Amino acid sequence: MRRFMLLCLPVLVISLLLSGACAKKLPVLYIFNWSDYIDPELIKEFEAAHNCRIKYSTYDSNENMLTKIKSSRESFDLVFPSGDHVSILRTAELLEPLDNGKLSNFKNLDLALLEKAQSFDEGNRYAIPYFWGLTGLMFNKRYVPEDLVAPRSWSILGNKFFAEKNKVTMLDDAREVIGAALVLNGFDLNDTSEAALKAAEKTLQEWDANITQFDSDSYKNEVPDGTTWIAQAYNGDALQQMADNPDLDFFLPVEGSSLWMDNIVMLKSSKNKELAYKFIDFLLDAENAKRNAEYTQYATPNKAASLLLHEDVKSNLLAYPPQEYLEKCYMINAIGEEVKKIDALFEAIKLN
């Protein structure tokens, strides 16, 4: 028996080496996306169906994503930027024009949302809408009294109740942070006029006295465990956490908010474009898009998928707010060199 085992050992080693070599030869799709922004089971199913591997990396802000793409030697195939950064990537000539004829499920997308997407992607040439949503405030009801949040206003961030408690956070995103202050003061969040930014700066100085940090990811753990009591948050992230924790709540401020659309884009430097098209089409399948929306808790731009969603999901006003609220919200637009004014104000507040 021992001799038999010794004879078999070289064969086993060779087999393992060959299987490892075969695994390395599988096509690889490089994806760069926001954290907690896709059902991981869909990734596994795509890999099995197409005999490939997906190397999945994440970021926590559009700015970090852009920096990584411009500075990294690693070439991503698909990225998921918000609308204004679709414009920035396109202007930098980093995007591959898409052939929607290769996407059999493109027809599933909502035509009304495709029209909205033309504000940053004229002719829908470079981007496929992925999810859309709004930004508001998530809080822990164990620590924040209901009468304090009852006005449902951005102004709560400067409330003296939080003074010296180190329990308030905002996103590490200049457009979202400055945008919230602009909206509170009655301005469009794309307004960079002197009057608008001066009003925003005054508000931000009041808020900054309470703010512990600017971070776009840690609040998902810190609000549930009480490290943070109230945080600027994306609505889907908040809904994910609320599903498992009855102490959590979220509101969309009465003054309005940012309304954003995240998208799938293909980089010009992609080395596996055909597999990338297959992955986009896989996500656009109605059943897959429904499952993805249920996992992420974000509003889907896939009309065929929305018809499959449970009525409780579609009637959730935190994910699908009424039209009268949406009319008070603003798309974050690419504003060219004017964005430097917003970035400078944000950096000054962070360093204060």
Per DSSP (E only), the strands in 120-270 are: 128-140, 168-170, 211-214, 230-234, 248-251, 258-266
- Model confidence at 3, pLDDT cuts 50, 70, 90, reads very low
Q: Is the dihedral of CA 341, 214, 245, 227 positive or negative?
A: negative
Q: Which residues of 56-74 are buried (b: 16+ CB within 10 A; e: fewer)?
A: eebbbbbbebbeebeeeee
The model's pTM: 0.89
The pair of structure tokens assigned to 193 is: 């006029």
What number is the average pLDDT over the span 270-292?
A: 98
CATH architecture of 133-259+327-351: 3-Layer(aba) Sandwich (3.40)
**What region, left, alpha or beta, does residue 51 occupy, with left being phi > 0 and alpha being psi -120 to 50 degrees?**
left
Position 1 scores a pLDDT of 44
Cα–Cα distances in angstroms (integers) from residue 278 to residues 104, 106, 205, in the given order: 10, 12, 48
Domain 24-132+260-322 and domain 133-259+327-351, same fold? Reply is yes
Encode burial over 159-198: b for 16+ CB neighbours within 10 A, e otherwise.
bebbeeeebbbbbbbbbbbbbbbbbbbebebbbbeeebbe
SS3 15: helix
Alpha-helical segments (H) within the chain: 2-24, 40-50, 62-71, 83-91, 111-117, 146-149, 174-184, 194-208, 219-225, 235-242, 273-284, 286-296, 303-306, 311-314, 323-326, 339-351
**For residue range 244-274, what is the model confidence (pLDDT) as tens digits?**
999 999 999 999 999 999 999 999 999 999 9
**Confidence (pLDDT) at 95:** 97
Q: How far apart, in whole angstroms, are the C-alpha atoms of residue 56 and residue 53?
A: 9
Mean pLDDT computed over 268-285: 97
Residues 61-117 have pLDDT tens digits of: 999 999 999 987 778 999 999 999 999 999 999 999 999 999 999 999 999 999 999
* Residue 319 predicted with pLDDT over 60: yes
In the numeric block, the tokens 């990537």 are attached to: 89
Cβ count near 311 (within 10 Å): 7
On average, the pLDDT of the chain sits at: 93
Overall average pLDDT of the 301-312 stretch: 96
Q: What is the mean pLDDT of residues 29-47?
A: 97
Q: For the chain, what are the domain ranges?
A: 24-132+260-322, 133-259+327-351
- Fold of the 24-132+260-322 domain: D-Maltodextrin-Binding Protein; domain 2 (3.40.190)
| Lookup: tokens for 143 | 């620590």
Nearest to 257 by CA among 167, 325, 352: 325
